Each structure stands twice: as structure tokens, then as C-alpha cells.
Amino acid sequence: MIFSMGIRDILIILPLLILSLTVHEYAHARVSTALGDPTPGSRGRLTLNPLAHLDPFGTLMLLIAGFGWARPVPIDMRYYKRHHLGLVLTSLAGPLSNLAITTIILLVFKVMFLFPLISSPFLVSFMEVLQQAAFLNVLLFVLNMLPIPPLDGSRLVSAALRNRPDLLIPYNRYGGYALLALVLLDRALPMDVLPLGRWSSFIFSGLVRLIL
């Protein structure tokens, strides 16, 4: 969390976080556009400019509380040929883009290990930054795949419940409150109610073993 970080760590994590959130939201916009929806482009979201995507308070909360958000990309699923499939693909695009970033970074590590370079303080620091970026993107993947509104994973549940409005409406209406309650309990209780770090470490370790 930001209050337990040194200035150096904040200066490293914050740009990585901004870049990762930007790619995440751009992926949503790009896939929705590819499926025929002009809404992201008309709202100025089909860009890698961080200013178009970031929610200042959401970014701050991610650093302070370990939970935060960017501005959701507006979409209109009526433009999709298959509405609910389009919703699923668009929703998965963001988290999978974070997983792709981690994979690319680990592939860079693999190449660096195949062709060892002369060790230097700069190179060591650079590899540490890459490692932090890789893990941060796994964390964003895990967080956003939680099936709780308004996170991306909830849209998968919404697609599955499309024929059950009696369940879908309260799910979307009260999901945000459930998520807030889980976050507060996670901070208040001496146990991991939301063990995002542990889940992220498990996935990250698996990717490391697979790629490296």
C-alpha cells in the first residue's frame, strides 16, 4: 500500500499501474469496436492515452487499499451480432490483456537468460521493474476476473443469467455493495477474505515455470 512504500517504489509502481490500466481499458474498447460497436470510439476511448481512461480516485484507491478501478469503457451490446457472446469477449479482453503483458515480460526474461548481458546496477534495477510490472498485471487479471459487479468477471455471470432476470437484476444491483463489504472485511479481519495476493502469486509462479 502507498503508505508503506518508499518514494522509489511509488515512482516505479505508479507509472506501471497507469500503463497497465490503460492497456486494460484500451483492450475493452478495441474488441468492442472490432465487434461493430462505435461507442468506444465516439466517446474517445479507442486510444492508449492514459488521460482518456484513468479515474484519479480509483487509481489512488488501488494504491492505498489494494482495490481500485479505471473509468469503464462505454459499450452498446446491441451492435454485436451475438449480443451476449460479444459481451463476454469484450469483458475478457481487459483481463487477458494484463495476462498478455505478463507473458511478454516473462518472454523478455527468457531471451535475456539465453543471452546473458554484463551485469550492471541499471540492468538489475530494470529487471526488478519488469518483474514488478509482470506481477502487477497478474494481480489486475485476478482482481478483474472476480465475478462481482462492477468487475469484468461479473459480465460473464450476467451473460449466463441473461434468461433469469429475477436473479440478474439483484445481482447487478447489489453486487457493488457486496464487493465493498468484502474489501472492508478483508482490511478489518485478521484473515484473507480476498486473498488476491496469494491467488496472483499462484498464477504468476505457474507462468514463470511454464515460460522460464
Task: Answer whether residue 181 shows pLDDT above 70.
Answer: yes
Q: What is the pLDDT of residue 65?
A: 62
Q: Which of 179, 107, 195, 97 is nearest to 138 (CA)?
A: 97
- Per-domain boundaries in the chain: 2-211
- What pLDDT is stored for residue 184 in this prediction? 82
Q: How far is CA 204 from the centre of its chain?
A: 14
pTM tops 0.85, yes or no: yes
Kindly tell me if the per-residue pLDDT of 1 is higher than 60. no
Q: Which residue has the higher pLDDT, 192 or 103?
A: 103
Who wins on pLDDT, 124 or 172?
A: 172
Question: Which residue matches cell numbers 508503506?
Answer: 4
Beta carbons of 193 and 182 less than 8 angstroms apart: yes
CA angle 202, 68, 166 (to 5 degrees): 90
pLDDT at 66: 58
Burial 94-121 (b: 16+ CB within 10 A, else e): bbbbbbebbbebbeebeeeeeeeeeeee
Q: How confident is the model at residue 3 (pLDDT cuts 50, 70, 90)?
A: very low
Catalytic positions, please?
25
pLDDT recorded at residue 38: 97
Tell which residue, 102, 106, 126, 122, has the closest CA to residue 114. 106
What's the pLDDT tens digit per position in 18-52? 899 999 999 999 999 999 999 999 999 999 999 99
Provide the pLDDT confidence category of residue 212 given band limits of 50, 70 and 90.
confident
pLDDT for 54-100, tens place per residue? 887 777 776 666 566 789 999 999 999 999 999 999 999 999 999 99
Question: Is 23 in contact with 101 (CB distance < 8 Å)?
Answer: yes
